[in-house]
C-alpha cells in the first residue's frame, strides 16, 4: 500500500494527519504544496485534479484520494485499526470525536490562512487586529475543551490521573489538540488559562509520533 500525503509543513490539518500516520506506524511519501508561493500551489490545476476543493491535506491510497483531515484519520482508523485513535465503546468514540471537532470544526477554521487573508483584504485588518481575532477564537475553543477534559462522565481514568484528552492513550482528540496548541504559540496566544491542555500537550509532544510530525521536522520546512 503506497500512501502519498499532499501536505504543507505549517498546515495544522496536515500536521494532524502526519501525527495519525506516525502513531499507526504507516509510511508515506510527502508531496509538499506551498500555500503561498505563486498564489498558492494548492490552487494550481495539477492539484485541483487531485483535490477539487483545493485544500491541504489530501491523502492518496494508490489511486483513491481522501480530502479533509478528519476523514483521512477515520479512514486510517478503519483500514489500520491498531493502535486505536478511537476508543472501544460508541459513547467513548462520540466523546473523542466531539473533542476533536471542538478544534477541527469550531476553532481552527476561524483562524486559518484563507480567513486571515480575507480579514486583511475585505476589512483592512492589520496584523494586530488579525492576531486579536485569532486569540479570541482559539481562546473560546480552548476554554470549552479545558472544561470538557476536566469533567468527563465515565472517563476511563480519574481526571487527576488522566495523561491525555481522554484517558492515557493518544486519541483523535489529541491528534487535533497538539497542532492547535502549536498555532496558539505561533500567534503568541496566552495559554496559561488552560493548564490541563498545556499539560496534556507537554506529555504528547514527548512522544516520537508527535515529535516527528512537527512542522520543523518536515522536508519542506522553511528556515531550517
* Ranges of each domain in the chain: 3-83, 90-211
Query: What element of type H or E holds 114?
Result: helix 113-123
- What's the average model confidence in pLDDT over 126-143? 96
Q: 104-132: per-residue pLDDT in tens? A: 999 999 999 999 999 999 999 999 999 99
pLDDT surpasses 80 at 153: no
Interaxial angle between packed helices 127-149 and 113-123, expressed in degrees from 0 to 180 and rounded to the nearest 10: 140
Q: What is the C-alpha to C-alpha distance for residues 71 and 76, in angstroms, rounded to an integer? A: 9
Q: 3-83, which class in CATH?
A: alpha beta
> Residue 12 and residue 18: Cα distance in Å, rounded?
10
Q: Which helix (H) or strand (E) holds 59?
A: strand 58-61
Residue 188, classed as helix, strand or coil, is: coil
Report percent pLDDT > 70 for the chain.
96
Reported CATH class of domain 90-211: mainly alpha
Amino acid at each position: 500500500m503506497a500512501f502519498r500525503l499532499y501536505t504543507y509543513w505549517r498546515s495544522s490539518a496536515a500536521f494532524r494527519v502526519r501525527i495519525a500516520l506516525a502513531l499507526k506506524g504507516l509510511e508515506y511519501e510527502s508531496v509538499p504544496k506551498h500555500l503561498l508561493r505563486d498564489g498558492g500551489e494548492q490552487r494550481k490545476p495539477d492539484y485541483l485534479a487531485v483535490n477539487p476543493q483545493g485544500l491541504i491535506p489530501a491523502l492518496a491510497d494508490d489511486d483513491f484520494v481522501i480530502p479533509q483531515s478528519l476523514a483521512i484519520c477515520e479512514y486510517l482508523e478503519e483500514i489500520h485499526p491498531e493502535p486505536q485513535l478511537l476508543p472501544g465503546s460508541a459513547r467513548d468514540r462520540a466523546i473523542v470525536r466531539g473533542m476533536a471537532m471542538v478544534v477541527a470544526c469550531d476553532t481552527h477554521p476561524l483562524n486559518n490562512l484563507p480567513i486571515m487573508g480575507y480579514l486583511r483584504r475585505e476589512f483592512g485588518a492589520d496584523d494586530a487586529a488579525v492576531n486579536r481575532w485569532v486569540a479570541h477564537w482559539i481562546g473560546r475553543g480552548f476554554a470549552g475543551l479545558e472544561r470538557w477534559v476536566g469533567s468527563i462522565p465515565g472517563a476511563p481514568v480519574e481526571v487527576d490521573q488522566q495523561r491525555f484528552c481522554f484517558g492515557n492513550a493518544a486519541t483523535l482528540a489529541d491528534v487535533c489538540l497538539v497542532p492547535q496548541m502549536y498555532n496558539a504559540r505561533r500567534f503568541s496566544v496566552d495559554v496559561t488559562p488552560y493548564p490541563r491542555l498545556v499539560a496534556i500537550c507537554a506529555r504528547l509532544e514527548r512522544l516520537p509520533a508527535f515529535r516527528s510530525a512537527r512542522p520543523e521536522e518536515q522536508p519542506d520546512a522553511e528556515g531550517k
